[in-house]
Amino acid sequence: MSKPFLSIERLTQQYPDGQGGTLTVFENASFGIEKGEFVCILGHSGCGKSTIMNILAGLAEPTSGVVKMDGFAVSGPSLDRGVVFQNYSLLPWLSALKNVTFGIKARYPSWSADKVEAHARDFLAKVGLEGDVVYRKPSQLSGGMRQRVSIARAFANHPKLLLLDEPFGALDALTRGTIQEELLKIWSGTEQTVFMITHDIDEAILLADRILLMTNGPFARVAESVEITIPRPRSRTEIVEHPNYYAIRNHLVQFLGQRSKELAGQQSDVPDQRPETVRIDVSETETATEGSAPPPLRAVNT
């Protein structure tokens, strides 16, 4: 069996507990992500989601375990892994345009200045930023505009893996919804591999091919991998009409509200425990009753 594009193998993170012992945040986390897949991870605060994200980005080292991308172990930051943070992380002394060109120059040092700028403008336009606004500095932009710049900067560098750390958490509902759809449009055109942290169940269902569910800590683990059986393309106003939407949503709410607590603190005896695959598709039953073929779904391997 071939290895997935991104392979997380027996990842464990421990910290000193201040009393001479250790606190195990999560242990033996093992899961894979296929190339071009969009995966979200959900779990309560303290379960280790952001720690996993930092390890994938090369910003932190695990206590044990390994992360492999394209068959090679991840070690330290790399231009092959782009990160979009909740707090934007833009260079305040540069304009929106130069914040994007800065990364492109590092990624493609042989490109001419005109090619770098054209490439930056193209990705800024994809997130709805054109005209004079691209010359503004971050302090002159709204929160939504700053996050658009961050997303454009990340995608413009063509990373093999794009990591999103609650990128819409600080935005109002209307702005968040607009940028979610812009993110989907860019991703569908590039089909880059995306791993995203979110606390928003509806956001995860809209964006993801799969949702990973973590139990509460300590000794948190990735317990389930829930396939999103709603065809693409998706929109916020249409997915709620799909018969699978509330069935999937109810399962996620039930896990996060009850089962994540019930499974908390349980040490695993299995050194390579992979999440249980969950596929909820009530539309298959309805379609079989009607005698027609089920709707097309994007192929996902776990």
Helix, strand and coil percent figures for the chain, each rounded to 5: 35, 20, 40
Question: What is the second-level CATH architecture of the domain 1-80+159-166+190-302?
Answer: 3-Layer(aba) Sandwich (3.40)
What's the rounded mean pLDDT across residues 62-86?
89
So what's the pLDDT on residue 284?
66
So what's the pLDDT on residue 286?
57
So what's the pLDDT on residue 293?
53
190, 224, 182: which is closest to 207 by C-alpha?
A: 182
**pLDDT single digits (tens) 231-282:** 999 988 899 999 999 999 999 999 999 988 888 776 666 666 789 999 999 9
What is the pTM assigned to this prediction? Answer: 0.88
**pLDDT single digits (tens) 124-159:** 998 889 999 999 999 999 988 998 999 999 999 999
So what's the pLDDT on residue 273?
75
What are the C-alpha distances in Å from 224 to residues 67, 164, 174, 237? 19, 20, 30, 27
So what's the pLDDT on residue 1?
53
**pLDDT single digits (tens) 177-198:** 888 888 888 898 887 899 999 9
Measured CA to CA, the distance from residue 84 to residue 62 in angstroms comes to: 21
| Coil, helix or strand at residue 222 | strand
So what's the pLDDT on residue 268?
63
Rounded to an integer, what is the distance from CA 149 to the centroid of its chain? 17
Tokens 């930092």 belong to: 54
So what's the pLDDT on residue 302?
40
Residue 299, pLDDT above cutoff 50 = no
So what's the pLDDT on residue 298?
45
Instruction: Give Cβ neighbours of residue 43 (< 8 Å, ≥ 6 apart).
Output: 49, 213, 214, 215, 216, 220, 256, 260
Residue 301, pLDDT above cutoff 60 = no
Residue 11, pLDDT above cutoff 80 = yes
216, 211, 209, 215: which is closest to 198 by C-alpha?
A: 211
Query: Which of 58-72, 148-162, 167-181, 215-229 has the least mean pLDDT?
Result: 167-181
Return the percentage of the chain with pLDDT > 90, whole number: 56
Which contiguous run of DSSP H or E holds residue 81? strand 81-84
Measured CA to CA, the distance from residue 263 to residue 7 in angstroms comes to: 24
Please report, for the chain, the start and end positions of each structural domain, with discontinuous segments joined by +.
1-80+159-166+190-302, 81-157
